[in-house]
Amino acid sequence: MEDARGQLVLQVRYENFQRLNGFMMPYRITVIQPAAGRRVVWQYKEAVEINASLPQERFHMPAPPVGTARVAIEDLPAPEADALPRIW
């Protein structure tokens, strides 16, 4: 992803592909933010299962504390210079 000046702001690399149920699945994903000097790597070391059945409780999100303000995502302030680029 580049900014309006053509400077690289975000790079995603998909690596170490392995066949999984007829699909090629990246077992390593690297996200790089050059200007901020950030790099995050996800690497699967155990078997991956596509569309696995998971119990509903794994997706439970606890309610925020009483009094927490609600803000629409489009009303959030623009990110700081060292944050990920705003894509919405």
Q: What's the pLDDT tens digit per position in 1-37?
A: 888 888 888 999 999 999 988 889 899 999 998 888 8
**pLDDT given for residue 30 in this prediction:** 95
The helix/strand count (H/E) of the chain reads as 0, 3
**pLDDT given for residue 52 in this prediction:** 82
Q: Is 73 helix (H, G, I), strand (E, B) or coil?
A: helix
Q: Please tell me the pTM assigned to this model.
A: 0.55
Rounded distance, CA 27 to CA 19, Å?
10
pLDDT one-digit tens code per residue, 44-87: 888 788 778 888 888 888 888 898 888 887 887 776 665 555 55
CA distances from 29 to 61, 71, 78, 83 (A): 26, 31, 26, 19
**pLDDT given for residue 4 in this prediction:** 85
